[in-house]
Structure 1
Amino acid sequence: MLHDDDAQLFDMRRLAVLLEVVEQGSITAAADLMMYSPSAVSQQLRKLEQEVGQPLLTRRSRGVVPTEAGQVLAGHARQILRQMKAAQSDLDQIAGLKRGALTVGTFPTLAGSFLPIVIRAFKKRYPAISLSLRSARFDELVADLQSGVTGLCLLWDYPWNRFQNDSIRVTEVFRESTVILVAASHPLAEQDQVGMEDLRNESWIVRAEAHPVVEVLQRSAHDAGFEPTIGFLANDYQEAQAMVSVGMGVAMVPKTAVALQHPDVRVLSLGDEAPLRRVLLAQRQDKVYAPAEVAFQTTLLEIARERAGDYL
């Protein structure tokens, strides 16, 4: 029996050889799988038996079977090798987070509001990862993701047009409300909440180039029984706020669009009437996710949970 002072560790390679021989029931089959010669496998087994001090295998006319000691040691070897494989995987994950690059697709309203908070936290946790962003329209974001230009991307959808693509997996990040912008001098400016019926006679400022918010406005107005009058087409939400601030009209925008609020603009709730859009994290279904992608998703969802109420 080995005492503590003369105990020695078994060679991991020999344990792996023993386990493969026991599972295959044959030295030749194990040698083929491990790309060794049968004589090399036999030599490793003899050395392991010398270390153990008792036989581990019984040779038979057709293969080998483990002795009781061989069966016990093979069971321990299976557990040890599984743990070593997990340890290597964990080390690979850590190494992956100490180098490399990650490109994330996003859209302007999120890039100007929620996403900088995520980026700040991610860079603090993983300073060695080179993070870059691509801000684009919806179709471009999907195309970039599918072609591998981006590893992850952020998308959005509304209840009447849920995003669905068999090649892309989406995770809800948070839901955000739609709000109304009016000038500080507007008769409704002192109210916290309005209904769409209160806005039927207003001139509307919307985003240009068939922006998705136009459809949101039209659906909401139609549900309230009127056709909205479009008074100005803005190139971005800052321009829309500027026009609202001087009384050129009112606007309907997602709440993240007023993360930087114009001082002469008031933000009004639509209450239960407010259309809700989902902000989504999208990833390719067929992709093995890199450690940096997993880390970014974890950071993103953690901060989204903390700030879920900010956008409703």
Structure 2
Amino acid sequence: MNTEKCRLLLQVIQAGSFSSAAERLGYTPSGVMRSIASLEKEIGFPLLGRTAQGIYLTREGQAVLPYLRRLIRDEDALLQYSAQIRGLTAGDIYIGSYFSVAANWLPQIIQAFQHAYPAVHVHIEECANKVMYDGLEEGRFDCCITTWRPFSGDWIPLCEDEMVMWLPENHPLARAEVYPLKQLCHESFIEPLPQQDTDVVRILKEEHISYETRYTAIDNYTTYRMVEAGLGVSMNNRLMTAQWQGRVAILPMDPPHTITIGIAIPSRDGASPAVKKFIHYVQQGISQILEPKDSH
């Protein structure tokens, strides 16, 4: 199967139309349509449908899309191995990551990695657990930096991070040593990233905590600012606020909870050379970041 046609199909899906994909790639719309028609003929059924608003994946197209992505990934891995044999490193790495890790740790890790391997392009998508694990299953991500969930792949633990409560600075418990989770039943709770299988919801379920979700937000910084405005309280991992300054009290929880941040990957042994090198840099970089500083 011609993987260039598969890559072209992904570009059409991303662009939303044949003409937009053609303009982006420097093709003619008719050329793009002929390539997709040829791919559909080779596979044996239509992959795309057309409406006045643009194109859409057929049900059959949705079913085979993960396999087409995997085919492209396997070809990329083969090319990277070939490049490595020739003494080169090249390719693309697609990473899903927690917002906090992407903002606080990955920039300096990627900087070191790119200095050593400038030909490898690193693509980071900040998202929550559900999107990351769905992306791993679909083949959209080479690996994800997240917390563990049941999945068919390998898990590489990196570090522990404390879960904390965010309170407005004028909250009655803002200066307390800890925040008792049972207090949540009396609060307006701001839930970050609803319906995304977050550690927040997992912990509250484990503790059988009764709470009212008064507000939701799909951005952690927005959640932080809503707490600062006095709209309610929220919960997150401590790393999330490492670089933020605001009128928000950050308290340990009672009972305490930590999360294990790690790397989820479909197969560590089957990963491309570039992905394996990147994982090494992540492990080394986070170890150095978290290394206790010499008091002298």
TM-score normalised according to structure 1 size: 0.58
* Cα 1:228–1:302 shift into 2, 3 Å: same
* Cα 1:94–1:301 shift into 2, 3 Å: farther
Moved over 6 A (4+): none
Unaligned stretches of 5+ in structure 1?
1-88, 158-162
Equivalent of 1:246, from 192, 207, 229? 229
Contact 2:96 2:141 in 1 (8 A): yes
Counterpart of 2:172?
187
Q: Output aligned runs, 1:102-113, within 5 Å.
A: 102-113=93-104
Counterpart of 1:219?
205
Counterpart of 1:114?
105
Equivalent of 1:92, from 56, 59, 84? 84
Contact 1:216 1:275 in 2 (8 A): no
RMSD: 3.1
* Cα 1:305–1:265 shift into 2, 3 Å: same
CA distance in 1, matches of 2:256, 2:199: 13
* Cα 1:246–1:294 shift into 2, 3 Å: same
TM-score normalised according to structure 2 size: 0.61
Q: Output aligned runs, 1:71-150, within 5 Å.
A: 92=84, 95-97=87-89, 99-150=90-141
CA distance in 2, matches of 1:94, 1:296: 19
**Matching of residue 151 in structure 1 with residue 142 in structure 2:** yes
Counterpart of 1:291?
273
Equivalent of 1:255, from 219, 222, 238? 238
**Matching of residue 229 in structure 1 with residue 215 in structure 2:** no
* Cα 1:144–1:276 shift into 2, 3 Å: same
Counterpart of 1:306?
288
Unaligned stretches of 5+ in structure 2?
1-80
CA distance in 2, matches of 1:94, 1:175: 39
| 1:164 to partner: Cα distance | 3.1
Counterpart of 1:196?
181
Q: Name which one, 1 or 2, has greater alpha-carbon Rg.
A: 1
Q: Output aligned runs, 1:58-69, within 5 Å.
A: none
Corresponding pairs, count: 211
| 1:236 to partner: Cα distance | 1.5
Find the residue that maps to 2:166 and give its secondary structure: strand
| 1:300 to partner: Cα distance | 0.5
Residue identity matched to 1:189: A
Contact 1:240 1:251 in 2 (8 A): yes
CA distance in 2, matches of 1:193, 1:176: 16
* Cα 1:93–1:187 shift into 2, 3 Å: farther
Residue identity matched to 2:175: E
**Matching of residue 173 in structure 1 with residue 155 in structure 2:** no
Query: What is the aligned-residue identity percentage?
Result: 19
* Cα 1:152–1:214 shift into 2, 3 Å: closer
* Cα 1:221–1:244 shift into 2, 3 Å: farther
Find the residue that maps to 1:112 and give its secondary structure: helix
CA distance in 2, matches of 1:127, 1:280: 25
| 1:113 to partner: Cα distance | 2.7
| 1:129 to partner: Cα distance | 1.7
CA distance in 2, matches of 1:94, 1:184: 59
CA distance in 1, matches of 2:174, 2:265: 41
| 1:204 to partner: Cα distance | 1.4
* Cα 1:181–1:101 shift into 2, 3 Å: same
1:270-297 Cα distance to aligned partner (Å, 9 max, x none): 26x2222222212223853332112111
1:243-279 Cα distance to aligned partner (Å, 9 max, x none): 11122111111223223324111211126x2222222
